[in-house]
C-alpha cells in the first residue's frame, strides 16, 4: 500500500492527519526487543505509514528515542504525536517536558502535543504553555487525551481551550461508550477522535464473532477490529505493533471493506451504548 492510499482527516487548524498510524506504548521497556521495535516502525514507514504516536511516559522516554531512530532522515514525512504527563503539565513544566521530548525525538518540533490525561494542574496553565510552544514553533498543534465530555466542556470554557484539535481516548468494539455523547460532541466541533488500544491490547482477538466476520473476508480478527474503526469518519487509529509481521497485518486492515451485514453482526455482538457512560481508560 502506497503512502497516498492512507486516508487523512482535517484538523481544525487547517492541517491534516493520517487516519491510521502506529502506537508505541510498551516500546523501549526491554533492551532485548529494541532493535525489533525500531525495525517494526521503520517497516511501517517504508510501507507508507506516516503517523507515530508516542509519549514521554512510554519506556520512561525510551520510546521517543526509538521513534527518533526509526524516523531518521524521514522526519519531514512523519507526523509525530507525543504527550506531556499531567504531573509535568504546569506552565513551566509543560515547556520543560516538551523540550526534553524534542531532544529524545531528535527533532525541532512535535506535530501534535497532547495532555496525557487530566491531573490537578488548572487547564489554563497547560494551555498557556501549549500556546507559547506553538508560537515558538516547538509544537504545531495541541490536544488532549482521556478527556470525558465534562472535561471537554470545561476545556471549551477556558480561554483558547477551543484550539485543541483532538481528544485521544480508549475506543474499540468492546469500548463503545463514547458513541453516546463524546463522539457526537467532538464531531459537531470538527474534533477527530484518536482511538487508542484499537484491538484492546490483543484481548479482543479471540472473540468468536470477530473471528467469524474475519473468516468471511479471509482476514484476521485484528484487521476486522481495525477496519471497524477506519471506516468511521473523523476517527484516527493507532495500533501498536512490535514486529514487522504485525505492522503488515494491521496496515492491510485499510484494504478490508466491511459490509452492512458485517456491521450488523458486529453491532449485535458489541452493542452501541444506550445511555451515557463514564469514559473508559486503561
Ligand atoms: N493516551 C493514552 O492514554 C493511551 C493509552 C493506551 C494507548 N495509547 C496509544 O495507543 C497505542 C495503541 O494502544 P495499545 O498499545 O494500548 O494497544 P493495541 O494497539 O490495542 O494492542 C497492542 C498489542 O496488540 C498486539 N498486536 C498488534 N497487532 C497485532 C496483530 N495483528 N495480531 C495480534 N496481536 C497484535 C501487539 O503485540 P506486538 O507488540 O507483539 O506486536 C500489542 O501487544 C499505544 O501504543 C499508544 O501509542 C494511548
pLDDT in tens, 33-49: 999 999 999 999 999 99
Residues with a CB atom less than 6 Å from ligand 1: 23-25, 53, 116, 145-146, 168, 196-202, 205, 222, 238-243, 246, 249-250, 282
**pLDDT over 70 for what percent of the chain?**
99
15-50 as b/e, with b when 16 or more CB fall inside 10 Å? Answer: eebbbbbbbbbebbeeeebbeebbbbbbbbbebbbb
- In this prediction, residues 54-80 reach a mean pLDDT of 98
| Mean pLDDT over the full length of the chain | 97
- In this prediction, residues 4-12 reach a mean pLDDT of 89
Atom in ligand 1 nearest the alpha carbon of residue 250 = 31
Any idea which residues carry the catalytic annotation?
A: 58
**What predicted TM-score, i.e. pTM, was given to this entire model?**
0.98
Residue 69 has pLDDT above 80, yes or no: yes
- In this prediction, residues 17-24 reach a mean pLDDT of 98
Residues written for the chain: 282
- Max CA-CA distance within the chain? 54
Residue 53 has pLDDT above 60, yes or no: yes
How far is it, in rounded angstroms, from Cα 185 to Cα 194? 14
**pLDDT value, residue 3:** 41
**pLDDT over 90 for what percent of the chain?**
98
Note the helical H segments in the chain.
34-46, 62-71, 91-105, 123-135, 149-157, 182-188, 208-216, 221-230, 244-251, 260-269
Residue 1 has pLDDT above 60, yes or no: no
| Ligand 1 atom 23 nearest Cα | 201
| Ligand 1 atom 22 nearest Cα | 201
Report residue 2's pLDDT band, with 50, 70 and 90 as the boundaries. Answer: very low
- In this prediction, residues 94-116 reach a mean pLDDT of 98
Residue 265 has pLDDT above 80, yes or no: yes
- In this prediction, residues 194-211 reach a mean pLDDT of 98
DSSP β-bridge partners for residue 8: 18
pLDDT tens per residue across span 122-180: 999 999 999 999 999 999 999 999 999 999 999 999 999 999 999 999 999 999 999 99
Ligand 1 center–CA 201 separation, angstroms: 5
**pLDDT value, residue 84:** 99
The set of residues, in sequence order, having a beta carbon less than 8 Å from that of 213 and lying 6+ positions away, is 224, 258, 262, 265, 266
Residue 5 has pLDDT above 90, yes or no: no
**pLDDT value, residue 282:** 87
Amino acid at each position: 500500500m502506497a503512502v497516498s492510499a492512507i486516508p487523512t482527516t482535517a484538523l481544525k487548524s487547517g492541517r491534516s492527519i493520517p487516519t491510521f498510524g502506529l502506537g508505541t506504548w510498551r516500546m523501549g521497556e526491554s533492551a532485548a526487543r529494541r532493535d525489533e521495535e525500531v525495525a517494526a516502525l521503520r517497516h511501517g514507514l517504508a510501507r507508507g505509514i506516516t503517523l507515530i504516536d508516542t509519549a514521554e511516559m512510554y519506556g520512561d522516554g525510551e520510546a521517543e528515542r526509538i521513534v527518533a531512530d526509526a524516523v531518521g532522515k524521514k522526519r519531514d514525512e512523519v507526523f509525530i504525536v507525543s504527550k506531556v504527563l499531567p504531573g509535568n503539565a504546569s506552565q513551566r513544566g509543560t515547556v520543560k517536558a516538551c523540550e526534553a521530548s524534542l531532544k529524545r525525538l531528535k527533532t525541532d518540533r512535535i506535530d501534535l502535543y497532547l495532555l496525557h490525561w487530566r491531573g490537578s494542574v488548572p487547564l489554563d496553565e497547560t494551555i498557556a504553555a501549549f500556546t507559547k510552544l506553538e508560537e515558538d514553533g516547538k509544537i504545531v498543534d495541541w490536544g488532549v487525551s482521556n478527556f470525558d465530555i465534562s472535561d471537554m466542556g470545561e476545556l471549551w470554557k477556558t480561554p483558547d481551550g477551543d484550539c485543541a484539535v483532538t481528544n485521544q481516548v480508549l475506543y474499540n468494539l468492546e469500548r463503545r461508550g463514547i458513541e453516546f455523547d463524546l463522539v457526537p460532541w467532538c464531531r459537531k466541533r470538527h474534533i477527530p477522535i484518536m482511538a487508542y488500544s484499537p484491538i484492546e491490547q490483543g484481548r479482543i482477538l479471540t472473540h468468536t464473532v470477530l473471528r467469524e466476520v474475519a473468516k468471511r473476508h479471509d482476514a484476521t480478527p485484528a484487521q476486522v477490529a481495525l477496519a471497524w474503526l477506519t471506516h468511521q469518519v473523523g476517527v484516527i487509529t493507532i495500533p501498536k505493533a512490535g514486529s514487522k509481521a504485525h505492522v503488515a497485518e494491521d496496515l492491510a486492515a485499510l484494504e478490508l471493506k466491511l459490509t452492512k451485514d458485517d456491521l450488523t453482526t458486529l453491532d449485535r455482538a458489541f452493542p452501541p451504548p444506550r445511555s451515557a457512560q463514564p469514559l473508559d481508560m486503561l
